[in-house]
Amino acid sequence: MSRTQANLLLLLVALIWGSAFVAQAHAKVGVEPYTFTGIRFLLGALIIAPFAWRDLRTVARREVRPGRREMMGVLVLGLLLMLGAVFQQIGINGTTVTNAGFLTALYVPLVPLISWLLLRARPHWSVWPTSLGCLVGTWLLSGAQQVAISAGDLWVIASSLFWALHVMLVGRVADRLAAPFLVAAGQFLVCGLACLLWAVFAESISLAGIRLAAMPILYTGIISVGIAYTGQVVGQRYAEAADAAIILSAETLFAALFGFLLMGDRLSAAGLAGCALILVCILAVQLMPLFGAKPAS
């Protein structure tokens, strides 16, 4: 695959993820957050099952096989995925698609901050001004005239913490297993089963409700979770890091575009300024460390 083809594939991934916010917003008509999240992630696991089976056969032929530590890593990934996805879904039910898209992306500057707090990994200096910029952008996006932001915005902001922890851990687990599709299917399975188990006790599940939300479930499960995640894994093997950072960040812009076209989302001048500031900070925190990096020999 050429670099141009990889970039186009990643652009498609960003478009799918951005459009998925609209599907998630429509899902609230028939099902509650845990039920919706559980079903769609189980569908995602089913879609990539053939690739996971290939990885499993490869792992089984190794002399040193994965142990309890690797299995626990997949379990933790699934639980973080569950919390991030459910919190995001609850938040989408109480905010706009545009807000949800931009506020979810706050995980980008959170990753180096959490790495510094938990792993004592010194972040690039750009983390501090971009984090402050994201906070200002969030305030503008939520409505600069009011001090308090909506409950839905708060749920989405909370989800970004779990997305950040997930991003930090997923690379470590995937490196130890050297089986990315097996890790993906495993975390999807854990997330889906945990959500449905919780839904049995905390939510009202009905076939009628599932039928009402069938299209959002199918779209987000098959297209967003299954196909788009697989496309990301494939595309980032061939794309430059700087290309991938810019293109995948376009998810926020696609969320705003689909929110405008399909949901009637409208932003004030302050909201537009907040979106622009968040996007600039997200790009800066990803790209600025690359400028000073020495090329690999």
pLDDT at 154 over 70: yes
Asked if residue 200 lies in contact with residue 21, where contact means CB atoms within 8 angstroms, the answer is no
Share of the chain above pLDDT 70, in %: 89
User: What does the alpha-carbon distance between residue 111 and residue 164 come to, in Å, rounded to a whole number?
Assistant: 5
Share of the chain above pLDDT 90, in %: 23
Which residue, among 287, 244, 242, 237, has the nearest Cα to 10 in the 3D structure?
244
- Residue 29 corresponds to which amino acid? V
The predicted structure's pLDDT at residue 160: 87
Which residue, among 272, 219, 265, has the nearest Cα to 19 in the 3D structure?
219
- Which has more pLDDT, 275 or 50? 50
The predicted structure's pLDDT at residue 127: 75
Q: What DSSP assignment string belongs to 118-133? A: HH--PPPTTHHHHHHH
- Six-digit token pair at 263? 């949901």
Reported as a pLDDT band with limits 50, 70 and 90, residue 297 is very low
pLDDT (tens digit per residue) in 208-223: 889 998 999 999 999 9
